Structure 1
Amino acid sequence: MSWIILIVSGVLEAVWATALGKSEGFTKLWPSVIFLVALAASMGGLAWAMRGIPIGTAYAVWVGIGAALTVGYAMITGEESFSLVRMLLILGLVGCVVGLKLVGDH
């Protein structure tokens, strides 16, 4: 269950990071509200997941999921440019996150 919570928390990290950018320095109400709600849920889930997953692994997976989804979303929406190199680097990041899950505590 810890891994499921961690993955959802990583997705919420991408939500709050994207909302933070769209809030334009907290001058827009709804992106600011989404940022605060997603931030609280993401941090809470990360904290909960760390009860069953080592901190280094949990944090790396959380950040990796959030970073990959945030940049992926930005490329899909055209806010950032798409390139094959960027896509390969994101896939490498995802591969590292999956690898951390596979090796566990060994």
Structure 2
Amino acid sequence: MPWVYLLLAGLLEIAWAVGLKLSHGLSFAARPIPSALTVAAMAASVVLLGLAARNLPIGTAYAIWVGIGVAGTALAGMALFDEPATAARIAAIAVIVAGVAALKLVS
């Protein structure tokens, strides 16, 4: 179950990073619903990371959480916000994914 918590925590990290963009940097006055959803995703992500860290080494859990967030947010930026999808960016994301996979295999 800790790996499921960690995966969900990583996916919520992507959600809150995208939410920062959609909420215009947590502009509660201008965008209250996206801002509130972003804060909720932040809290849920950290809680799930904490649950995963009960049974996984913290270095592994944190690195995988960040890796999922970094790679997923970069891909979401390309898909949702027309950020550049250059070969170098795709290669860098592949390196991150490989690192996350390697950590999972050795943990």
Range into which the TM-score falls when normalised by the shorter chain: over 0.9
Q: Which residue of 1 aligns with 2:62?
A: 59
Where has structure 1 moved over 2 Å in runs of 4 or more? none
What's the % identity of the aligned pairs? 42
Q: Which residue of 2 aligns with 1:42?
A: 45
CA-CA distance at 1:77 after TM superposition: 2.0
Matched residue SS, 2:97? helix
Q: Which residue of 2 aligns with 1:15?
A: 15
Superposition RMSD on alpha carbons, in Å? 1.0
- Quick one: distance in 2 between partners of 1:54 and 1:69? 22
- Quick one: distance in 2 between partners of 1:93 and 1:66? 10
Matched residue SS, 2:54? coil
Unaligned runs of 5+ in 1: none
Structure 1 residue 4 and structure 2 residue 4: aligned?
Answer: yes
- Quick one: distance in 2 between partners of 1:93 and 1:55? 18
TM-score if structure 2 supplies the norm length?
0.92
Matched residue type, 1:15: A
- Quick one: distance in 2 between partners of 1:80 and 1:9? 24
Task: Count residues with an aligned counterpart.
Answer: 104
- Quick one: distance in 1 between partners of 2:59 and 2:93? 20
